[in-house]
């Protein structure tokens, strides 16, 4: 018996499904997850000694790669001074300065401990500011596991075909309206009917939790226009895209500014973190300045802040995003060519260094399009890639991430493996 199998058997008796986040269980792709022992650069090693070129990257945060020298040094230095204080630190101020400098729409920011907490808090601010109750989200977009957000959500919900979660009261679900991603007409129709009751629109400006789906031309601009016209708050969930698709996130890449922004992943350098921020007039409503309450024991944790600041300093150097763009484009071309040679229907969506290969013909512009993908074929492809030492997300409905640690040789290996795996996936 492998060590990973032994650990999984033990974990299954103690942890639901043997994992601490559902998609890690490999239920969508079959087999069993390797238990990871260590990682460095673009590679991870499991407890059985197998090595994999990693395109999961802890689901997005590790844009510098695993165990990046500056990040590790920053964590060690910070830990030597204490792991948590429950009091303000200079690092929190420096992080706030870095975030507000990168995102002109963020005039004030509050650090929290997860992306779920950031989205939940931003929505509370929007409701407190507008005095309205309704929220509009998009099919297949995932904003964490808060009750009102598990309505037609993506990520793990998409993987298992569960659009809603048990335990979410119907009264809360009724406060969440949904529309297809990239369907501006549907949004306008909802605002014509309910605009006076809609507090906020929350959107992943680049969807990453139904697989990568970029915004159609004019979609984000249209959301900005309709929310302004109706006095609603526009929330961009940039937990994935912030500092990933550009230093200033999707707002820099597409030139559309939100009222409130959710951040996470990269700003923690691989440690648990989240943040929400926006216009001063909105953020001054947050306690202790205003009546919108939000608190957290580990908010602004000094280790997470140190790791995040080290990551942001590295990303601010000239050429970082040009390299990420080039690496992402090369992997995209390799996957497209491999599918074509194997005669496998596939569509690759990419924005910068995040991409998804959908096993279906034609464009994928929304959740319905993503759901057309052949998940059985993806499972076969996934297992064939894993057998060749390439780690992808164990779900058709997630993103692959390229990091600055990936080399040309890593991409050559992945593209070569994809050519063989596509043939096996037919």
Indicate which residues carry an active-site annotation. Answer: 142, 237, 265
Q: Provide CB contacts within 8 A for 253, sequence distance 6+.
A: 241, 245, 246, 351, 352
CA–CA dist 139, 154 (Å, integer): 7
CA dihedral 321, 327, 332, 333 (to 10 degrees): 120
- Cβ atoms 113, 296 nearer than 8 A: yes
d(CA 403, CA 323): 9
Edge-to-edge order in the sheet of strand 400-401: 347-351, 354-358, 400-401
> What's the rounded Cα separation, in Å, for the pair 323 and 202?
30
CB atoms under 10 Å from CB of 419, counted, come to 15
Q: Distance between CA atoms of 311 and 60, rounded to whole angstroms?
A: 13
Strand partners, 38: 45
CB 57 within 8 A of CB 353: no
Instruction: Provide the CA 265 distance to its chain's centre, in angstroms.
Output: 7
3-state helix, strand, coil in the chain (%, to 5): 45, 15, 40
Calculate ∠ Cα 359-361-362, nearest 5°: 125
Separation between Cα atoms, residue 63 and residue 71, nearest integer Å = 11
């Amino acid at each position: 018996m492998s060590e990973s199998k032994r650990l999984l058997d033990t974990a299954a008796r103690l942890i639901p499904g043997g994992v601490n986040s559902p998609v890690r269980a490999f239920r969508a792709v079959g087999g069993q997850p390797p238990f990871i022992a260590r990682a460095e650069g673009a590679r991870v090693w499991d407890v059985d000694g197998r090595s994999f070129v990693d395109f999961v990257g802890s689901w997005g945060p590790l844009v510098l790669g695993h165990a990046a020298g500056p990040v590790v040094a920053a964590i060690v230095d910070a830990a030597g001074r204490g792991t948590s204080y429950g009091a303000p630190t200079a690092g929190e101020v420096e992080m706030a300065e870095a975030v507000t400098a990168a995102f002109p729409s963020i005039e004030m920011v509050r650090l929290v401990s997860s992306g779920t907490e950031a989205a939940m808090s931003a929505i509370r601010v929007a409701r407190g500011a507008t005095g309205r109750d309704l929220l509009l989200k998009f099919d297949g977009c995932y904003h964490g596991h808060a009750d009102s957000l598990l309505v037609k959500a993506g990520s793990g919900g998409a993987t298992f075909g569960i659009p809603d979660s048990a335990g979410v009261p119907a009264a809360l679900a009724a406060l969440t309206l949904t529309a297809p991603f990239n369907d501006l007409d549907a949004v306008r129709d909802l605002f014509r009917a309910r605009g006076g009751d809609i507090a906020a629109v929350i959107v992943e400006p680049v969807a990453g939790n139904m697989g990568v789906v970029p915004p159609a031309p004019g979609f984000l601009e249209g959301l900005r226009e309709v929310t302004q016209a109706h006095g609603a708050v526009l929330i961009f969930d940039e937990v994935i895209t912030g500092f990933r698709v550009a230093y200033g996130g999707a707002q820099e890449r597409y030139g559309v500014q939100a009222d409130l922004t959710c951040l996470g992943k990269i700003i923690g350098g691989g440690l648990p973190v989240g943040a929400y921020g926006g216009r001063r007039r909105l953020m001054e409503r947050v306690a202790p300045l205003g009546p919108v309450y939000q608190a957290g024991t580990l908010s602004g944790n000094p280790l997470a802040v140190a790791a995040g600041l080290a990551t942001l300093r590295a990303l601010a150097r000239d050429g970082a995003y040009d390299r990420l763009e080039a690496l992402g484009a090369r992997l995209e071309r390799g996957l497209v060519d491999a599918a074509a040679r194997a005669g496998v229907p596939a569509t690759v969506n990419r924005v910068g260094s995040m991409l998804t290969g959908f096993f279906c013909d034609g464009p994928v512009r929304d959740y319905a399009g993503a759901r057309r993908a052949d998940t059985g074929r993806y499972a076969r492809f996934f297992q064939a890639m894993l057998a060749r030492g390439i780690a992808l997300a164990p779900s058709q409905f997630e993103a692959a991430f390229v990091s600055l640690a990936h080399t040309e040789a890593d991409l050559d290996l992945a593209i070569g493996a994809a050519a063989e795996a596509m043939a096996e996936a037919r």
